[in-house]
Amino acid sequence: MEYDGEVSNNTQDTCNLFAKLFQKVYSKFTTSSISALHNSSLPPISFFDITVDDVLLSISKLTSSAKSDSDGLCPLFFKICSDTVADPLALLFRQCLNCGTFLDSWKLCSINPIFKSGDRNDNCNYDL
């Protein structure tokens, strides 16, 4: 992979090159922007309600993959057990919203750059 004159030869270096690209594209939140969000007229997160129907709709949109996610559960599990797990999941999600506490694993994400066209070794040829 290549970006801004640097070339990577392993996975770690490739990730670091993408990180440099991301830093140029996205800006960090400043303390003042976070304060502005906090002081805005947006309703508190506890205002939003998650219903069993919301959970069932979300489960219906999952793929039928048997591949496990970071939590060790696969989407197929939720599809098969949707009627059983929807109510407890809705309750769990509501409790998280009400107390403002979320599992650390829910705060993780996976960023997968998508190749557009051109040279696959050039980071600029990927959508972020």
117 domain residue, yes or no: no
* 20-62 tens-digit pLDDT: 887 777 766 665 665 666 666 666 666 778 999 999 999 999 8
Segments forming the whole domain that contains residue 52? 44-108
Q: Is the pTM of this model over 0.75?
A: no
Q: How far is CA 14 from CA 7, 69, 84, in A?
A: 8, 23, 42
Total tally of structural domains belonging to the chain = 1
Contact between 68 and 32 (Cβ < 8 Å): no
127 domain residue, yes or no: no
Q: Please state at what angle helix 82-99 crosses helix 52-60, rounded to 10 degrees.
A: 120
- The residue with tokens 């003042």 is 32
